[in-house]
Amino acid sequence: MKIQNVLSAEPEPHRAGLSVSRMDRYVWENYSDRPDEVRRLAALIRSGQDLPAPDLGIEDVELDGVIAEGGVVMRMHKRRERSPEIRKKALARVRKGNGGELRCEGCGAGAAVAEPRSVEESAFEAHHLRPLADPGERLTSAKDAVLLSATCHRMIHSLARVEGEWLPLRGFRKRIGKSEA
């Protein structure tokens, strides 16, 4: 389908694709007569190498409060596998300890919406007490993770980056002015 869209950018009227984007036009205008270059770039893409982004005429400047965004960016990166079971166990542990109510183990806040349950649970994330970035695969139990609000989770990771060390829950609670429960 993408090839048909690029071919639609060809000025001949007999070509008909689904849509012609600015990128399709750019590709046709700059590569239609360079098949060897297309093969070379395709091989680089398949190998995962970064390629320079084409200049499509949209500048990254602010004009009267309007900013260009929504462009498609392809990124390749590694990430550590996380088991959804750890979060489920943390949710269950906190519910059981709070009489069925969910509360952040950092700040103590509950979810703004309690029903439906899936929406309430979406406000909370499991935070590993030992960073997953430590080398190697390992076994994790429910007690190795705490349940934090999305805001507290973001904040504890930001503090770890700024301070250069992993912050234990007790240290985090102290930093945000919460006493131990």
- 159 neighbors 148 (Cβ within 8 angstroms): no
pLDDT of residue 90: 92
Domain endpoint, select from 77, 100, 133: 77
Show the low-confidence residues of the chain (pLDDT under 70).
1-20, 48-64, 180-181
Instruction: Check whether residue 96 and residue 170 sit in a common domain.
Output: yes
Domain extent, residue 152, equals 84-175
Instruction: Check whether residue 51 and residue 88 sit in a common domain.
Output: no
pTM above 0.85, yes or no: no
Has residue 14 been placed in a domain?
Answer: yes
User: Domain total for the chain?
Assistant: 2
| Cα distances (angstroms) measured from residue 106 to each of 12, 77, 154 | 64, 30, 11
Chain segment 41-90, per-residue pLDDT in tens: 878 777 766 666 666 565 555 566 777 778 777 788 777 788 889 999 99
Instruction: Check whether residue 95 and residue 168 sit in a common domain.
Output: yes
Has residue 180 been placed in a domain?
Answer: no
The secondary structure of residue 66, as a DSSP letter, is B
